[in-house]
Amino acid sequence: MSDDARNRLLAWCRPGFEPECAQELLDLDAASGGGGFPRAARGEGFVEFVARDAEAAESLAHNAGARGPIFARQLLHGIGQVGDLPREDRLARLLPVIQSDPRRWCDAWVESADGEGGRELRTLCRALNAALIARLKREQSIDRDSPWRLHVALLAPTRALVAATHVERSAPWPGGIPRLRFPRGAPSRSTLKLEEAFLVLLDADERAAWLQPGMSAVDLGAAPGGWTWQLAHRSIRVTAVDNGPMDSALMQGGLVDHRRADGFRYRPDAPVDWLVCDMVEQPRRVTARIAEWLRHGWCRRTIFNLKLPMKKRYEEVRLCLEQLRETAGATLDLRARQLYHDREEITVFARHA
- Residues labelled catalytic: 307
Q: Give the CA count within 13 Å in the CB-facing half-sphere of 8.
A: 19
Query: H or E segment at 292?
Result: helix 283-296
Residue 271's alpha-carbon distances to 72, 258, 326, in angstroms, are: 34, 17, 21
Helix, strand or coil for residue 105?
strand
Exposed, middle or buried: residue 70 (CB in 10 Å: 0-12, 13-18, 19+)? Answer: buried
Exposure string for 94-112, b = 16+ CB within 10 A, e = fewer? bbebbeebeebbebbbbbb
Angle, helices 18-31 vs 54-64, to 10°: value is 110
Residue 270's alpha-carbon distances to 218, 219, 298, 350, in angstroms, are: 11, 14, 7, 19
Exposed, middle or buried: residue 4 (CB in 10 Å: 0-12, 13-18, 19+)? Answer: middle
**Could you give the CA distance from residue 334 to residue 326 in angstroms, rounded to a whole number?**
12
Q: Give the CA count within 13 Å in the CB-facing half-sphere of 313.
A: 22
Residue 221's alpha-carbon distances to 45, 133, 142, 218, 315, in angstroms, are: 31, 47, 48, 10, 26
